[in-house]
Amino acid sequence: GLMMERIRHAFGATEVLKDVSIVAEAGKLTCLLGPSGCGKTTLLRLAAGLEKVQDGQIYLQGRMVGDGKTGLCLAPEKRGIGLMFQDYALFPHLNVYENIAFGIRNLTPERRTWIDAGLERMGVAKHRNSYPHVLSGGQQQRVALLRALAPEPEILLLDEPFSGLDVTRRAQVREDTLNFLKECGVAVLMVTHDPEEAMFMADHIVVMKSGKVVQAGTPVQTYFHPVSAFVAELFGAMN
């Protein structure tokens, strides 16, 4: 899994993370939940190695990959992470199969079988040879998820993976994604500002506010035992 300890981060004079510690366990889905601007994406980018640690430590599978003291910052491609952002960012000049295979260094028969099974499993097998522009948003999301998982990452980092989808599609894609991730057994750290999404998907919820963790626990704990009015109101706004 992933462990981030005592992370502080500033852009210029603005402190956006103020002593944040989180854990995302193997086989579990951890949601970072909080309002816009509270620092969720910055934390995810630090985990990925897209942002250099200024203060604190990051461990992946027990190995230190980032350290503010020594300036250690392992490159993203060496971290064994899968990344998926809200815009999916599929390569327009590659077809669906090629997009998914892109990050696999050694495309063994076993990995090819995995891709085909994944396409089947996520209901996009008929688009195996299609180019991204002909796919719906939901189909692109599914392909992007397969691409992120194809190199067998130890941890998957998702930033608002469903926010680009219209509300009618979102519930189904969420459910399919959740089932697929459970089968994969990968550790997932997912950013969302939607409390309902966190309740539905997470094993563990980390609530953030203004660069700090204000509560961490299971969905049931956070929903039924909010530690503050802020957390209560966050879930109270759920419909």
Backbone phi, psi, residue 151, to 5°: -80, 15
Residues in Cβ contact with 85 at an 8 Å cutoff, skipping those fewer than 6 apart: 159, 160
Of 29, 38, 156, 173, which one interacts with ligand ATP (CB under 6 A)? Answer: 38
Residues 162 and 118: beta-carbon distance below 8 Å: no
Q: Is 50 in the site for ligand ATP (CB under 6 A)?
A: no
Q: Is 195 in the site for ligand ATP (CB under 6 A)?
A: no
Of 3, 16, 199, 227, which one interacts with ligand ATP (CB under 6 A)? Answer: 16
Q: What stretches of 28-137 adopt beta strand conformation (E)? A: 29-33, 55-60, 63-67, 72-73, 81-84
Of 30, 41, 139, 141, which one interacts with ligand ATP (CB under 6 A)? Answer: 41
Q: Is 36 in the site for ligand ATP (CB under 6 A)?
A: yes
Of 30, 42, 57, 140, which one interacts with ligand ATP (CB under 6 A)? Answer: 42
CA-CA distance, 69 to 37, in Å (whole number)?
Answer: 26
Of 10, 26, 27, 37, which one interacts with ligand ATP (CB under 6 A)? Answer: 37
> Is the CB of 127 or the CB of 197 nearer to ligand ATP?
197
Q: Which residues bind ligand ATP (CB under 6 A)?
A: 11, 16, 34, 36-42, 193
